[in-house]
Amino acid sequence: MTLVTETTKVFLGEADIPTHWYNIVADLPTPPAPHLHPGTKEPMAPEDMTAIFPMGLIAQEGSTERWIEIPEAVQEIYRLWRPSPLHRARRLEKALGTTARIYYKYEGESPVGSHKTNSAVPQAYYNKVEGKTRLTTETGAGQWGAALAFATQVFGMSCDIFQVRNTFENKPYRSLLMRTFGATVTPSPSDTTQAGRALQERFPGTTGSLGMAISEAIELAVQDPNASYALGSVLNHVALHQTVIGQEALKQLDVFGEQMPDYLFACAGGGSNLAGIAFPFLRENLEGRASVDIVACEPAAAPSLTEGEFRYDFGDSSGTTPLLKMYTLGNDFVPDPVHAGGLRYHGMAPLVSHVYHEKMIRAVAVKQREAFEAGVLFARAEGIVPASESNHAIAGALRQARAAAEDGSSPVILIGVSGSGQLDLPAYAEFLSGDMSDT
């Protein structure tokens, strides 16, 4: 009997792990707007940020260099899970009856099951080398909190995490994972900070938001000279660290024999996941080697790109962060408590906002039930339960794949699957029971 086999996934070797992060600022036709000091409203100077960030990250935040070398100590930890696999979704294609060729880059094989470790490890490293012993942060769904808890444990640091109250209560295993790695986890808004108490007075009975949790984490950091604040998305240096994803995907598609995808879909909340997979492909567009249609898939409950305003706004609810030029729903916006906690943010990364404003990418909003319907179909076809956030990208891609089935075209579709949904099963239970709201 002769077996005919087709490649279903491509793994690269450790030698193929990127040695540099890609900084898209170097290739943008127009520079992004600078961050502004919240008091003076003047462009932020490096010394303005030293209260919460180490100089290594501050330099990356304002860098215009195209390639920034990844420290060997960070590359060593990356080897635990990088390179991540690129799959050809043949069973999903068959289930859809589509003529499209669908690929997905899966970040769920990292130590905590998401792309967030790509930035958590370097952030912990740069703080460690500058003598910091403690990091504070916020987390929505818990993917970022778990990633930073892992990273601080690797470098022998302590970690204090404020988790959005809605997900703290509805996804208990996320906080247990953070605590397993040694972190302290507090539901936000809390009574432990002045910001938390004030926010509870402003929003009685609130289920919390990422902006609220950021305010609490920053307050804790500035009170301790041995502490820094770490952010899981939005800022330039976070987007920078995530570009290992797209760099690997470029190589892997080549192994599959594909020149470039026609479409790239990625979920977008704060913007780091989208930037990570998309910016290396956007570079190909900018240099005239490709024309990839890059689509940011955001939740209808927090539609910053599709319904927000492009203006300066604070990154947190209390107005303590630098002012960022971004698409925003307003820093006092409190989204509905949807299950994609990692996407429940009022704004979008300044770099993602800039390329969207310049029409280099586009965006779609996805409602919750459509996202989970796509996630269940994906799981049954591919055997991977996606994170709630990833389901939005999958839903966007399925729209395109079904359109291809109708018109007989054969586009190449690339999906960024940002993480595993094994700890999101209560959300799937709500969808499967028919009780999920369609916000």
pLDDT of residue 363: 98
What are the backbone dihedrals phi and psi of residue 124, each rounded to the nearest 5 degrees, phi first? -65, -40
Task: Walk across the sheet containing 227-229 and list its strands.
Answer: 184-188, 158-164, 134-139, 227-229
DSSP character string of 362-416: EEEEE-HHHHHHHHHHHHHHHS--B-TTHHHHHHHHHHHHHHHHHHT---EEEEE
State the CB neighbour count (10 A cutoff) for residue 238.
Answer: 29
- Its pTM stands at 0.95
pLDDT of residue 209: 87
pLDDT of residue 343: 85
Rounded to whole angstroms, what are the CA distances from 387 to 23, 110, 323, 426? 27, 13, 30, 12
**String of b and e for 177-186 (b: at least 16 CB within 10 Å)?**
bbeebebebb
Secondary structure class of 265 (helix, strand, coil)? strand
Query: Hey, which residues does 101 pair with through a beta bridge?
Result: 412
Query: Hey, which residues does 185 pair with through a beta bridge?
Result: 161
Per-residue pLDDT of the chain (439 residues; tens, 9 = 90+): 333 347 899 989 999 999 999 999 999 999 999 999 999 999 999 999 998 999 999 999 999 999 999 999 999 999 999 999 999 999 999 999 999 999 999 999 999 999 999 999 999 999 999 999 999 999 988 999 999 999 999 999 999 999 999 889 888 888 999 999 999 999 999 999 999 999 999 999 998 988 899 899 999 999 999 999 999 999 999 999 999 999 999 999 999 999 999 999 999 999 999 999 999 999 999 999 999 999 999 999 999 999 999 999 999 888 888 999 999 999 999 888 888 777 888 999 999 999 999 999 999 999 999 999 999 999 999 999 999 999 999 999 999 999 999 999 999 999 999 999 999 898 999 999 999 998 8
pLDDT of residue 2: 34
Cβ atoms 353, 308 nearer than 8 A? no
ω before 299 within 30° of 0 (cis)? no
Nearest to 340 by CA among 364, 369, 360, 361: 369
DSSP character string of 51-100: TTS-HHHHHHHT---SEEEPPHHHHHHHTTTPSPPEEE-HHHHHHHT-SS
Query: Hey, which residues does 386 pair with through a beta bridge?
Result: 420
Rounded CA-CA distance 43/290 in Å is: 34
Please report which residue ranges of 134-264 form alpha helices under DSSP H: 143-154, 165-170, 172-180, 194-202, 210-222, 236-242, 244-255
* Structure tokens that stand for 337 in this block: 């408590």
Cβ atoms 280, 249 nearer than 8 A? yes
* Structure tokens that stand for 79 in this block: 């080897």
pLDDT of residue 4: 33
pLDDT of residue 276: 98
Nearest to 90 by CA among 20, 5, 28: 5
What are the backbone dihedrals phi and psi of residue 293, each rounded to the nearest 5 degrees, phi first? -85, 105
DSSP state, residue 420? B
